[in-house]
Amino acid sequence: MNPRTLKLRMLRLLPVLGLLAALSGCDYTDVTVPTYQKGYKPVQPISFSHKLHAGDMQMECQYCHFGAAESRNGSIPPVNVCMNCHKTVKTDSPQIKKIAEAYEKGTSIPWVKVHNLPDFVSFNHSRHVGRGVACQTCHGPVQEMPEVYQFSSLAMGWCVNCHRQYSEKDSAQFGQTPPEQFKDLHLKPSTDCAACHH
């Protein structure tokens, strides 16, 4: 049986596992194996530097990732965003020529996705960014990265631990206090299996 089929079979057990967890009061974060691809840094077709653009030049993350506050995806910018500057900046660079070529042909750069949640997990940027969770809380100091890499484990325990921290009921149970800036918003991220798996 390949790992994919195994996962799908395990997912069919979700209601059962959830019930067991509820009945035994067990800490289900303990049973997940962390680290997946923490530190993953695939080679990109163009050496685009976040350190240069978002760090040294202090460009806002959402100037390029403009979907993040309103939609599910963090969204990779199309080449026309790059061409706002690179129509005139560094046009003799071989790297920039690749961008200009894609722009003229109406194609896109084949960037390699760094973060990959399994598709049985439902994650939505707007539910986080729209509620004031900073990009760096999950993605680390991207503005200091010449090449962007996966900063957090993206393991289930990572999601659930943060959700618990904000939820008043769970905070009391686990002796944690919600971060100051969220107290007024009464955020209660769910720790129900179905919130993330449906």
CB nearer to ligand HEC: give 131 or 169: 131
Q: Give the span between the Cα atoms of 168 and 183, in whole angstroms.
A: 9
| One of 21, 38, 126, 171 touching ligand HEC (CB under 6 A) | 21
Kindly state whether residue 178 participates in binding ligand HEC, applying the rule CB under 6 A. no
- Measured between alpha carbons, how far is residue 46 from residues 81, 102, 143, 147, 166 in Å? 15, 12, 17, 10, 39
Q: Restricting to residues 140-169, name those near ligand HEC by CB under 6 A.
A: 142-143, 148, 154-156, 158-160, 162-163, 166
27 to 56, contacts with ligand HEC by CB under 6 A?
28, 32, 44, 46-48, 50, 52-54
DSSP alpha helices (H): ranges in 61-192?
61-64, 79-86, 94-105, 125-129, 135-139, 156-166, 168-174
Three-state DSSP class for residue 178: coil
By CB under 6 A, what part of segment 73-132 binds ligand HEC? 73-77, 81-82, 84-86, 89-90, 93, 95-96, 99, 111, 113-118, 121-123, 125, 127-129, 131
173: helix, strand or coil: helix
Which residue is listed with tokens 């994919």? 4
Of residues 108, 165, 140, the one with CA closest to residue 39: 140
The residue with its CB nearest to ligand HEC is: 74
In whole angstroms, the minimum distance from the beta carbon of 25 to ligand HEC comes to 11
The least CB distance from residue 177 to ligand HEC, in Å, is 14
